[in-house]
Chains A and B, each alone.
Chain A
């Protein structure tokens, strides 16, 4: 099973930390620091597998990591997972994030931490791989966020207005407005709920 999924940047600041086994808060932070220390020492062209640090289970556990631009994606797994498979999983995860955020960058991960967690929850559950089909993951994640937005009520009016304007189908606007005639063709706007 996957013990932990960590994303941190080149200076060791955590951008996402998800633990599938219980550790105290202090231990969690120590694990993040230790993992950063181990992973940042690695050269660019060495292999992506490392023995785990002492805190997260020693030599039984492996750290499988990938370095993209300024971020390290580290999965800490035990021996029951296929190492190359996890490497592919990291790739799928990053591609999914890319599709969801459109050219994802570190700032996206910083400011939309909850969205990243939701996407991750569709891929890995309880330390086990749940779904690897990108389109399926994205569909589900979007459906859920739609549900959230629809619940937002009056307070969500400005946000919904913005999204409504975005979704407005401009070609449907009438090419000519007959001023002489009282009846003016009004474009079809999506109804507010």
Chain B
């Protein structure tokens, strides 16, 4: 009797259990029986017991006591016992268990068994859970099986070889010769396995890749055969003959043709043929087309073919099937770096996908939309993105918000638009923005001096309406404190004038101070703002004094400290009050590596000219820090200028910054290392940010010759396991005499932490002659210690 019958009885009994506890009881009883079974000597029942144990294991109950039984059953001469033993080995054993070594010998014997099914069992198990030692031992056997015997065994041996190579990469050379000969097989299963094997070999080793390039014509022939062959019922899936094999071959062609002109030429015809002839009404056809598109984009194909590929993707986008839309957006994401314009054509459809009901599709559409933002379409895109923000699912909010901020920073057509956009985001999704938004916004507002009046009016109105969004409230308080006089004057060209009295303003600030919704940081902002108003308003100074003195006994330490200091300002240092609380000076923006966000797929341009990159970077803090400084210096008479206080963060906690003040560390300018200098053209590399696996560098090119150079392009290559992403350069003309420079940001992702090297090819034309040169960069400069923002300790 096959194991199934007994197993079925047990399953029936387990299913009849009505509660979890009952089920557990039944299973415990069964496990005890199974254990007793195993202890007995050989009889025909052991395979049934193991089958029952495997079922119990699937339900989640411990089954480790079955491991030795598996070993015993595998060694049995009977096929049914071997079969269940191997299944048990795949499910219960793994390389960490000692028992797995014991089956190595059995597998070895079974690999040369007379029955092909026994051989296949052994191959299957080795491929699923073979450890490196087992693989090393048995590799010659597998290699032998690759060449001899039936196609059934051959295809299994091929995939087993793939597993071996994954576990023990050094054995790859053992399989290379047989792999090539397998390509001439007729059986599709074997072909499929062979293509997988070759793909694995090529991905691991560049020399093998070169060797297999010679196989490109053969692969092309096979593909042609598949595409043009008549209907063959066995491999047919929805009208396409063996789409699985087609997809695999296309993927291998992609690897072989990447960065290689001759191989790519050989494939061009084939790819065009597949792209035009495949019917994409069913999923199978779409899968083949999709793979074709990816291959076209990855190899050095001719431009006509690339246009065809992007058009196919565009067609996919309009498809009703959501799966296909998702897939096409994933691939457009990969292309958007290199063929930006082609993807721009489909912007409308992509933006429409933002309104789709499916979260996965929305996520893809969001990433793609953020990547497509450019100076030309910024206004319309932003409108769409803001609408999306108000209705998007919660998990996408913070990504949307930070994406919007980045886009706004880069491409805002005017300051006022920028501020409006940020305010809009803060009112809709203030809870999901990052902490750095507040100081960034404040800094932005201070630089837009002509808009102070407008900004403070808008913020005041937003504050009065709603005080729950903390970031918005913080910014609003700060602005009201700074520009309160403009608010009270009441006139502003850009919005209708509303008369705001001093009492109204103080009421608003007091509401914030007293509300339970305000975070401690927000209340700190509000208190300081109230204090600053004491110099800006005339009538209600007493009210301010009383507010401030109340908080002198507040439980919150921060507020209490501030209140006490402000009280001191009123009482002992009243003569200094005006000077201390005067308007803040212009704040400088931080280094580029700091503020640019983390949304992927964006084209970053170098910071606009309003920042001065070479000078030491000063990060000054809001005015409340000044009072702390006063305290530190023991209340001396010398007024301290706020701008000369170097601190590390712009968050509102004071104690950590005090420590930093004491340290007095001046941030050093970020170093740029020259890597190439020839014929007056020099290339510097500057590291913007570095983590364990990622490094962002900027390449800066300058020209000290007499003439402008044009068509300046940089190409880069990195070691295999490192991923490279080059952003759009700032331009391709470098002015002469060192007057201008071109910068290009490069992102490197190094998950395996190999030593980073980069080869850069510089090409430009100088007075009509094209020049090219290559430079190898072996060491990357490390960034200065604080080009990463350090969040305050408290």
**Closest 3 pairs between A and B when the two form their complex, measured CB to CB:** A126-B127, A84-B287, A47-B322
**B283 interface residue (CB < 8 Å to A):** yes
Q: Quick one: which of A12-68 are within 8 Å of B by CB?
A: 14, 16-18, 20, 22, 25, 28-29, 32, 43, 45-51
What's the minimum C-beta distance from B42 to chain A, rounded to whole angstroms?
Answer: 13
User: Does the CB pair B4–A115 fall under 8 Å?
Assistant: yes
User: Does the CB pair B287–A85 fall under 8 Å?
Assistant: yes
Encoded as 1 (CB less than 8 Å from any B CB) or 0, chain A from 146 to 160 comes to: 011101110110110
A-B contact pairs, 22 of them (CB 8 A): A46-B322, A46-B358, A47-B326, A82-B287, A82-B290, A84-B324, A84-B327, A91-B237, A118-B83, A121-B124, A126-B124, A126-B127, A126-B159, A126-B163, A132-B242, A133-B188, A133-B189, A133-B235, A148-B79, A148-B83, A149-B2, A152-B2
Assess A29 versus B60: contact at CB under 8 Å? Given A114-B3, A129-B244: yes
User: Does the CB pair B129–A22 fall under 8 Å?
Assistant: yes
User: Does the CB pair B242–A113 fall under 8 Å?
Assistant: no
**A78 interface residue (CB < 8 Å to B):** no
User: Does the CB pair B115–A147 fall under 8 Å?
Assistant: yes
User: Does the CB pair A16–B58 fall under 8 Å?
Assistant: yes
User: Does the CB pair B326–A114 fall under 8 Å?
Assistant: no
Encoded as 1 (CB less than 8 Å from any A CB) or 0, chain B from 339 to 365 comes to: 000000000000000000111110000
Main secondary structure of the interface of B (DSSP, over half): helix
Hey, which chain B residues are within 8 Å of A48, CB to CB? 323
User: Does the CB pair A46–B244 fall under 8 Å?
Assistant: no
User: Does the CB pair B4–A22 fall under 8 Å?
Assistant: no
**A140 interface residue (CB < 8 Å to B):** yes
Hey, which chain B residues are within 8 Å of A20, CB to CB? 128
Hey, which chain B residues are within 8 Å of A28, CB to CB? 60
User: Does the CB pair B160–A85 fall under 8 Å?
Assistant: no
**A98 interface residue (CB < 8 Å to B):** no
Complex interface: stretch among B49-57, B404-412, B508-516, B775-783: B49-57
Nearest CB in chain A to that of B164: its residue: A126
> What is the interface residue range for chain B against chain A?
35 or more
User: Does the CB pair A22–B96 fall under 8 Å?
Assistant: yes
User: Does the CB pair B2–A148 fall under 8 Å?
Assistant: yes
Instruction: Give which listed residue, A22, A84, A117, contacts B290 with CB less than 8 A.
Output: A84
User: Does the CB pair B244–A83 fall under 8 Å?
Assistant: no
Nearest CB in chain B to that of A92: its residue: B237
Among B115, B124, B242, residue most surrounded by chain A Cβ atoms (within 10 Å):
B124
Assess A87 versus B189: contact at CB under 8 Å? Given A82-B247, A128-B159: no
Total interface residues in chain A, CB < 8 Å: 62
User: Does the CB pair A88–B287 fall under 8 Å?
Assistant: yes
CA distance A135 to B188 in the complex (A): 13
CA distance A159 to B235 in the complex (A): 35
Hey, which chain B residues are within 8 Å of A29, CB to CB? 60
CA distance A148 to B55 in the complex (A): 20
Since A121-B124, A130-B156, A133-B189 are in contact, a sample of 7 more A-B pairs with Cβ atoms closer than 8 Å, ordered by chain A residue number, is: A25-B62, A47-B322, A47-B325, A49-B360, A82-B290, A113-B55, A127-B163
**B608 interface residue (CB < 8 Å to A):** no
Instruction: Give which listed residue, B11, B87, B361, contacts A47 with CB less than 8 A.
Output: B361
CA distance A51 to B361 in the complex (A): 12
User: Does the CB pair A47–B244 fall under 8 Å?
Assistant: no
What's the minimum C-beta distance from B458 to chain A, rounded to whole angstroms?
Answer: 38
Q: Quick one: which of A134-152 are within 8 Å of B by CB?
A: 134-136, 140, 143-145, 147-149, 151-152
CA distance A41 to B324 in the complex (A): 21
Hey, which chain A residues are within 8 Å of B15, CB to CB? 110
**A112 interface residue (CB < 8 Å to B):** yes
**B155 interface residue (CB < 8 Å to A):** yes
Assess A136 versus B189: contact at CB under 8 Å? Given A49-B323, A128-B162: yes
Hey, which chain A residues are within 8 Å of B156, CB to CB? 125, 130
Assess A82 versus B291: contact at CB under 8 Å? Given A25-B57, A88-B237, A130-B189: yes
Q: Quick one: which of B57-91 are within 8 Å of A by CB?
A: 57-60, 62-63, 78-80, 83-84, 87, 91
**B8 interface residue (CB < 8 Å to A):** yes
User: Does the CB pair A85–B243 fall under 8 Å?
Assistant: yes
Hey, which chain A residues are within 8 Å of B193, CB to CB? 130
User: Does the CB pair A25–B60 fall under 8 Å?
Assistant: yes
Encoded as 1 (CB less than 8 Å from any A CB) or 0, chain B from 124 to 148 comes to: 1001110000000000000000000
User: Does the CB pair A113–B360 fall under 8 Å?
Assistant: no
What's the minimum C-beta distance from A59 to chain B, rounded to whole angstroms?
Answer: 11
What's the minimum C-beta distance from B263 to chain A, rounded to whole angstroms?
Answer: 20
Assess A153 versus B44: contact at CB under 8 Å? Given A25-B57, A129-B244: yes
CA distance A162 to B4 in the complex (A): 15
**B605 interface residue (CB < 8 Å to A):** no
Instruction: Give which listed residue, A88, A112, A128, A140, contacts B283 with CB less than 8 A.
Output: A88
